[in-house]
Structure 1
Amino acid sequence: MADAARGVVTAQDAALARLRDRLARGVLRPGDQIRQEVLAAELGLSVVPVREALKTLEVEGQVSYYRHRGYFVAQLDLDELTETYRIRTLLEGEAVARAVTRIGRDDLDRLREAIRDIATFTRSQDIAAVTAANRRFHFTLFEAAEMPRMTNFIRMLWDSTDAYRSLYFADAAHLRLINTEHRQILRAVREGDVEAAVELSAAHRENALAALARLLAETP
């Protein structure tokens, strides 16, 4: 029984990982329908773990379920996206300010490593890996604040906009910009400049939001 249970969990985890990868790479875009049977066949899994994975993503706000229609990648209008980023500004500003005064050498090494990984994966055009390294950069900083409940709230907000992050990263100019901004943030953190770290992080978010607003305006 225990082995069977572990098998079900493993299949669900595999389905969840593959779905996250497709969202991160922009294969699944906001508004796209996710057909459980088709996806299960593509992944070589039964429908049950796929359905459970979709339920997890629904809780995170990454997909939406409509009765008699099924699951769709969550679609936010500009007002909803802007609100999400405004809430992030409030929480992340506090997290970054606290992190600067608490961050350790190992954390700084992880920030530098994430920047290097983003550059490497940008060259190979691996958007899913860029997305993961970008998240690692920011959450290394948030977690250094030693406020786990706040970090969890921030993580939920990030999860709800993952599909839009892949749209932003699909542009090569944006990929170059984010690492320039990351290096500026790292320098401020390393120098213990709380005000600069908070301001640079805020500008980083605002640049992403402005670019997404333009993309949404261009989308029919």
Structure 2
Amino acid sequence: MADLSAFPITKKWPAKDPNVLQLYSAPTPNGVKVSIMLEEIGLPYEPHFVNIGENETWGPEFLSLNPNGKIPAIIDPNGPGDKPLGLFESGAILLYLAEKTGKLLPTDPAKRHETIQWVFFQMASLGPMFGQLGFFHKFAGKDIEDKRPRDRYVKESHRLIRVIESRLEGRDWIMGDEYTIADISMLGWVRNLIGFYGAGELVEYGELKRVPQWLERGLARPAVQRGLEIPKRP
């Protein structure tokens, strides 16, 4: 039986089975990256719902695992050297799980690094810009008279989604015929942009051809469908 007592987060979210990977998350665009990945690779895990609306990520238990106070985070009881490993940052977790299982990351060195660059693109650009656009459009727009912040994020999100559109020319997935962690990193964000955020018109999503087809292919995957609902909200 794995001993996770060194991780204070397990006091608030106890592990029913400490021998399997522990996921602390919520079904947000960042959170579902890891749940989708875990469903795709078939690695046993135990999800714990972290209520970000109640600021649970800012409690001492969660901060003990991620001092940045953001979901998702994991504890792998079977980390390197068979020792428990705690990790945060969704991109880092995707890369860790891909390398741990040898799945959804090309083994060819050049393609491997190319895949990682697209994950970094999502982390550095797509997620932050889409998230800010969503905030100013869906939540803050009605309260802030100055529309320049929203317009800035509209313009940049409009540009970024066309970077994906261009990348997908002649490709089913970001890396071509092979579905990878690059796709997993982006699917939830594009889905949220046109769905929950309701920003499709702002970025002229209807003008695109390849991105909507890519998103439809991704959302049709059974593992993606399951992962989008994990962890379950109470």
For Structure 1 versus Structure 2, the TM-score category normalised by the shorter chain is: under 0.3
Task: Pick the structure with more helix per residue.
Answer: 1
TM-score (norm 1): 0.27
